[in-house]
Chain A
Amino acid sequence: MRSLIAVALAAVFVAGCGSNVTLDPVTIPAPLIDPMPLSIAIRIPAEFEHFVHEDEVLGREKWRIDLGRSNAALFSQLFEFMFDEVTVIGPDDDASALSIDALIEPSIDAFEFSVPRQSKTEAYAVWIRYRLKIYDSAGDLYANWPLSAYGKSEEFGLTGDEPLKRAAILAMRDAAALTIMNLDKSTAISALKDRPPASVASAESQVAAAEAETASRKERGPLPKRRDVTLPPPGPVAGPAVLAMDPVDDGPTDTVREESTND
């Protein structure tokens, strides 16, 4: 009986030192846009489908944020709204058999968050830096677009870890809005419609490209250890703190830069 009580107390103690946040799949309202007349495939990498962020706040509280399927669900739904035809494929599926104009592969470069004790405000904030790689029908990398999303939520009306979940959902919604506004402007994906139809290159060639990039990242060194972040300063782009912490500017490699205007 004593050991049972001890275990229970230990469990309570451990639970008190950290937080586990698990997001449910996120949905967005149907956007007021005309879909692009393109046939695309989305390849969902395994690490994107099961993204987990672990961090320590102020060196004390351990946070584990499991975005689960929320990102995959968000981008699948978003692209369904944005394009005429969409096929979702798994990380190991070969897209060469598909008759498509483009293949899009989303990933997460960085995830950061802040809680009220850090920012000295009543708000929870989440920054997510996504990357969309677009391959043409021949399987060549056509565009590589990083996009930074930001969400902020107060505690008002929410309890427990709900404000952080809300901030994460708002960041994802922000990413969706930014993608709708700027995907074509920043990547010229609509130009792929006029290219002669061909199958997308085999998965092996893309794996090789991904490995080459991973090697390149390793050469550039790891990301610096997380520091306490504050809310972004006023400005039209809401400069995510995470961008300032990245040691290298790994912006677009072969296409136009990310823009943040709504013109």
Chain B
Amino acid sequence: MTEINYCLGKALTACLAALALGGCITSRVEDAREGITGIEEGESVVILAKSYHLGNETEGKYISCIEDALARGSNGLRVIPHKQFVDSLFPWFEPRTAPAETKGLPKLMERPGVAERIAEQNVRYIVWLDGDTDRVAGGGSLSCAAGPGGGGCFGFAWWQNDADYNAAVWDLKGLESAGSVTADVSGTSFLPALVIPIPLIARARAAACKGLAEQLREFILDEPEV
């Protein structure tokens, strides 16, 4: 019984260590401002993915993460859910029809009902997300075995994920581009196993979401970086 408790204790310690530790992450978040930003009380932001017709593969998970992160906190922005926005302006923000550049905005606003729907939702900024997270490298080997007396794993594996995203900010007040924010995050995860595998996971996509959302909020609120 004491031996079982000892083993459970070891496993628990390993799990806690895995939770406490993580993989290696390097991150670079930058913005490029083209105009003065700022947002007034009641004005809102919409997060959209650039069209998959143009080869973009931004994950739905990432869009939801940015929406949640921007809306959270004491200085959270008012975020209109992307599906609600796209449905309300059907068919002008569909993957095939959405404007690819700000120079298409004046013509879009002239279409029947478009300016009114945007005004109803008080949308000030559209943020177009582009990019994705890819596994770019990996290696090592890990083998596990189990028998009547127990089981275990032995080996070492690693992999690297790169999360590169760009957020282009369009100001619907001036019908112009306000600038862009980019996040380049590289995360290397490790999985050493000596009987018990201990995953040291680098969450590159989550880090790219957090970094981009924070920078995006500062960008829109026009808060100077400290």
Contact residues in A for B61 (Cβ distance below 8 Å): 154, 156-157
B94 interfacial contact with A, CB 8 Å: yes
Determine if A248 is an interface residue (Cβ-Cβ < 8 Å): no
Interface string of A221-242 (1 = CB under 8 A from B): 0000000000001111110000
A43 within 8 A of B: no
The reply to whether the CB of A260 lies closer than 8 angstroms to some CB of chain B is yes
| B contact residues around A104 at 8 Å (CB) | none
Tell me the bound Cα distance from A29 to B92 in angstroms. Answer: 12
Query: Across the interface, do A33 and B96 meet the contact criterion of CB distance under 8 Å?
Result: no
Are B88 and A236 in touch, CB under 8 angstroms? no
A236-B94 in contact (CB<8A):
no
In the bound complex, what is the Cα–Cα distance between A237 and B53 (angstroms)?
7
Q: Specify the chain B residue showing the minimal Cβ separation from A150.
A: B53
Least distance between B117 CB and chain A CB atoms (Å): 7
Q: For the complex, is B113 an interface residue (Cβ under 8 Å from A)?
A: yes
Residues from chain A with Cβ under 8 Å of B97 in the complex: 177, 181, 262
Supposing A156-B61, A234-B55 touch, asked if A34 and B112 sit within 8 A by C-beta, the answer is: yes
Number of interface residues of B (CB under 8 A): 25
The smallest C-beta distance from B176 to any residue of chain A, in angstroms, reads: 20
Q: Are A174 and B95 in contact (CB under 8 A)?
A: yes
- Docked complex Cα distance between A165 and B59 (Å): 18
Q: Quick check: A181 and B57 within 8 Å, CB to CB? A: no
Let me know if B114 and A32 touch, CB within 8 A: yes
Do residues A32 and B112 form an inter-chain contact, with CB atoms below 8 A? yes
B102 shortest CB reach to chain A, Å: 15
The answer to whether B59 touches A154 (Cβ under 8 A) is: yes
- Residues of B with C-beta under 8 A to A237: 53
- B54 interface hit (Cβ, 8 Å): yes
**Would you give the 0/1 interface string for B63-102, flagging 1 where the beta carbon is closer than 8 Å to chain A?**
0000000000000000000000001111110111101000
Residues in A neighbouring B57, C-beta threshold 8 A: 121, 123
A29 CA / B87 CA spacing, docked (Å): 6
> 8 Å CB contacts to B: which residues of A175-212?
176-178, 180-181
Summed over the interface, the residue pairs from A and B with CB atoms below 8 Å come to a total of 67
B59 contacts A32, C-beta separation under 8 Å: no
In this complex, what residue of A is CB-closest to B114?
A32
Measured CB to CB, the closest approach of chain B to A13, in angstroms, equals 27
- Kindly identify which residue among B60, B92, B104 contacts A157, using a CB–CB cutoff of 8 Å: B60
**CB neighbours of B99 from chain A (8 A):** 262
The answer to whether A173 and B89 touch across the interface, beta carbons within 8 angstroms, is no
Instruction: With a 10 A CB-CB cut-off, give which of B53, B55, B92, B96 has the most chain A CB atoms.
Output: B96
Q: Is the CB of B90 within 8 A of A31?
A: yes
Q: Which residues in window 23-37 of A have CB below 8 A to B? A: 28-34
Also in contact, A156 and B60, with CB within 8 A (given A33-B112, A236-B54, A262-B97): yes
Question: Which residues, 122 to 149 on A, are CB-close (under 8 Å) to B?
Answer: 122-123
- Docked Cα-Cα span, A235 to B52, in Å, equals 9
- Cβ contact within 8 Å between B53 and A32: no
The reply to whether A32 and B113 form a contact with Cβ atoms under 8 Å apart is yes
Q: Which of B54, B87, B94 contacts A174 (CB 8 A)?
A: B94
Residues of B within 8 A of A157 (CB): 60-61
A177 and B53 form a contact (CB under 8 A): no
**CB-CB nearest in chain A for B94:** A177
Given contacts A157-B60, A177-B97, A262-B97, A234 and B54 within 8 Å (CB-CB): yes
Measuring CB to CB, which residues of chain A are less than 8 angstroms from any residue of chain B?
Answer: 28-34, 121-123, 150, 152, 154, 156-157, 170, 173-174, 176-178, 180-181, 233-238, 260, 262
